[in-house]
């Protein structure tokens, strides 16, 4: 029997919880067999107050750390919103905000680093800045790379790596653009995150999604698993209205070409595992962000049932393409009980 490379399954925990409480998030993911998660929006105390993880106080972060330890969970990455601001202070008809960069470094970036340190994260995911709406993103690669490089340098001072995610409407809106950014930034602690659903939601078909994956393949650090069924009635105008996206589906039935992509990716896992472990990560992650009950600019939702469907669908697909994965078993339970 040929060797099957192994990945680590993870998920955005807030997608799995109806009320976003930390306990519900951890309980659902643990019950589904996961050992890793990325925090984003969370109600730590169960009071009903939901905050983004980078806005939590140190007391709240320590409480979240205690809860994740109780459930045997470890943080994959901080699900930050870094880079989802305008690159330029220029009116373009969008609702995106602009923040002066030094203020950004000393505010949002510093808070994100703090959250990672308290929760034990070695990775932070982020984005590539909004260029002026309707303009050619290629014109802004140099400017964006300079700022992203400074953020990566700030992370590097704390032994943290930056994962830059491909997403519509941003400068790194496809694999080619994200690869260009990565090459220009040229930091050891910067990798890219592939997300097929962020491409198919731009009306790309499976072959086009695969081509964008290949374009950024050498820069990938980990993959987000999200899929989308193209709406044939949608007139593509070159810009995604993120608040209206509604056709997210499990990874085995969408238009992102996951079977083709993962069949190729399996050949690169062993090499990538070595790189990611040098960066302090546990290995190579496939992280579920399925949005099965809806998604928008800063997050999405699947519910406990939707996350269950997403996990089982992905595992079925991984079995089919010959990639192994690690779910909780009796050995994990015995260790938790001190046996």
Report the CATH number at residue 288.
Answer: 3.20.20.150
Helix (H) or strand (E) holding 195, with range, is strand 190-195
- d(C-alpha 282, C-alpha 285), whole Å: 8
In the three-class reduction of DSSP (H, G, I as helix; E, B as strand; rest coil), residue 7 is classed as strand
- Give the model confidence (pLDDT) of 231-249 as tens digits: 777 766 777 776 667 899 9
Parent domain of 161 = 6-336
How many separate domains does the chain show? Answer: 1
- d(C-alpha 245, C-alpha 139), whole Å: 27
1 in a structural domain: no
- Give the model confidence (pLDDT) of 32-78 as tens digits: 999 999 999 999 999 999 999 999 999 999 999 999 999 999 999 99
Of 198, 195, 194, 116, the C-alpha closest to 151 is 116
CA distances from 327 to 252, 330, 337 (A): 19, 10, 17
The answer to whether residues 175 and 136 touch, using CB atoms and an 8 Å cutoff, is: no
Regions of the chain with pLDDT less than 50: 1
- The pLDDT of residue 1 is 43
Of 91, 94, 126, the C-alpha closest to 108 is 126
Give DSSP secondary structure letters for 220-242: EEEEEE-EE---TT----SS--G
- d(C-alpha 55, C-alpha 249), whole Å: 30
- The pLDDT of residue 296 is 67
Q: Where are the alpha helices (DSSP H) in 191-283?
A: 197-200, 206-216, 258-265, 269-278
- d(C-alpha 193, C-alpha 191), whole Å: 7
CA distances from 306 to 66, 148, 232, 250 (A): 26, 34, 24, 9
What region, left, alpha or beta, does residue 298 occupy, with left being phi > 0 and alpha being psi -120 to 50 degrees?
alpha
- d(C-alpha 307, C-alpha 239), whole Å: 28
């Amino acid at each position: 029997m040929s060797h099957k490379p192994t990945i680590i399954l993870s998920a955005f925990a807030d997608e799995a919880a109806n009320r976003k409480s930390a306990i519900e998030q951890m309980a659902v993911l643990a019950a589904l067999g996961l050992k890793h998660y990325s925090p984003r929006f969370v109600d730590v105390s169960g009071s009903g107050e939901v905050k983004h993880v980078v806005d939590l106080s140190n007391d709240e972060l320590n409480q979240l750390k205690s809860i994740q330890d109780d459930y045997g969970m470890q943080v994959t990455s901080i699900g930050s919103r870094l880079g989802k601001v305008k690159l330029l202070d220029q009116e373009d008809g969008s609702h995106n905000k602009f923040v002066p960069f030094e203020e950004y470094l000393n505010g949002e970036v510093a808070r994100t680093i703090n959250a990672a340190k308290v929760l034990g994260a070695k990775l932070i995911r982020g984005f590539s800045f909004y260029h002026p709406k309707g303009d050619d993103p290629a014109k802004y690669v140099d400017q964006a790379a300079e700022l992203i490089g400074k953020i990566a340098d700030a992370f590097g001072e704390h032994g943290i790596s930056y994962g830059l995610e491909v997403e519509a409407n941003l400068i790194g809106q496809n694999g080619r653009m994200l690869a260009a950014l990565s090459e220009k930034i040229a930091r050891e602690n910067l990798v890219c995150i592939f997300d097929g659903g962020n491409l198919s939601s731009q009306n790309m078909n499976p072959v086009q999604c695969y081509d964008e994956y290949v374009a950024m393949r050498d820069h990938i650090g980990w993959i987000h698993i999200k899929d989308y069924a193209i709406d044939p009635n949608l007139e593509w105008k070159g810009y995604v209205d993120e608040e209206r996206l509604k056709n997210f589906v499990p990874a085995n039935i969408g238009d992102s070409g996951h079977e083709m992509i993962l069949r190729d990716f399996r050949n690169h896992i062993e090499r990538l595992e070595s790189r990611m472990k040098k960066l302090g990560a546990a290995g190579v992650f496939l992280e579920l962000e399925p949005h099965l009950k809806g998604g928008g600019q800063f997050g999405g939702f699947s519910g406990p049932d939707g996350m269950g469907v997403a996990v089982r669908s992905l595992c079925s697909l991984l079995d089919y393409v010959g990639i192994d994965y690690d779910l909780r078993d009796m050995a994990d339970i015995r260790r938790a009980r001190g046996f």
